[in-house]
Amino acid sequence: MSIYFVSDLHLDAERPAITELFLRFLRGEARQAEALYILGDLFEAWVGDDESSEPAPAVRAALRELTQTGVPLYLMRGNRDFLYGARFAEETGACLLPDPAVISLYGEPVLLMHGDLLCTDDKAYQAFRNQVRDPSWQSQFLSQPLAARQAFARQARMASRQHQQGLKEAAQLETIADVNADAVAQTLRRYGVARLIHGHTHRPAIHSLHESGATGQRIVLGDWYEQGSVLRVDADGFELAGLPLANA
């Protein structure tokens, strides 16, 4: 048996094939897992636990089916779905994790993050993150009608795309939107670990760290845009693999 890690699925009604792939994964291979960790951005947007548009109901039900079989489910908030609350955890059977979180993985302490906190060169994003993670901002936002919150999410997604396009045109996307090496090293030292697993950057890889004072390993999870991506971990090691679409 293995422990599975996924992130950055960005499930959305506009990409039904990816939603179907994830549902098959939950009803198939994931049923044999020791545990499943979702490290943020499960959905393209999450405006509150009263979200009722697809694919939220189908995914909510499938996650509940998984936990009812006895598979532990751990969920971390990402930059797109930072508004998960107690209701979503109760409805799915998930345990909400803080970001960052240290877990014991086959006897080794391992740091889990969504990954956006490591992208310290993107000052505009970090300012936005600080705003929307503020409890008073979230309370005010969640008090609005669902339709108003959904409209805000659409505007935020458009602004995010424009921001990414601006970085790309300035030839800064590969650096500013990626993790900062010093931030990685400082974070590993702060938590006293040698291994980090995160998503967010959509650059799946297993990196050996020998810079900025850090020695260890950084494992980056892949996104679910053209295919699925899963990290399988057992007592023998780590395997980062893709999951093809049914018609691929």
ω into 57 cis (within 30 of 0): no
DSSP strand E in 56-211: where? 73-76, 95-97, 101-105, 108-113, 195-198, 205-211
| Segments making up each domain of the chain, as ranges | 3-243
Lowest mean pLDDT among 2-16, 106-120, 142-156: 142-156
Judge whether residue 134 has pLDDT over 60: yes
Q: What is the mean pLDDT of the chain?
A: 91
CB within 8 Å of 200: residues ≥ 6 apart: 7, 8, 40, 41, 78, 79, 114, 115, 116, 118, 119
Classified as helix, coil or strand, 109 is strand
Using one digit for the tens of pLDDT, what is the confidence trace for 99-128? 999 999 999 999 999 999 999 998 888 998
Give per-residue pLDDT as tens, 45-56.
Answer: 999 999 999 999
The pLDDT assigned to 205 comes to 94
**Burial category of 173 from C-beta neighbours within 10 Å (exposed 0-12, middle 13-18, buried 19 and up):** middle
Topology, domain 3-243: Purple Acid Phosphatase; chain A, domain 2 (3.60.21)
Neighbours of 50 (CB within 10 A): 12
Kindly state the tokens that stand for 50.
């009263």
Question: How far apart are alpha carbons 232 and 2 in whole angstroms?
Answer: 6
Range 194-219 average pLDDT: 86
CB contact at 8 A, 75 and 38: yes
d(CA 204, CA 137): 33
Nearest partner of 219 among 1, 7, 34, 75, judged by Cα: 7
pLDDT at 248 over 60: no
pLDDT at 125: 87
pLDDT score, position 133: 94
Beta carbons of 173 and 115 less than 8 angstroms apart: no
- The predicted pLDDT at position 159 comes to 74
Look at residue 176 in the predicted model and tell me its pLDDT.
Answer: 59
Average pLDDT over residues 57-82: 97
Rounded distance, CA 34 to CA 106, Å? 11
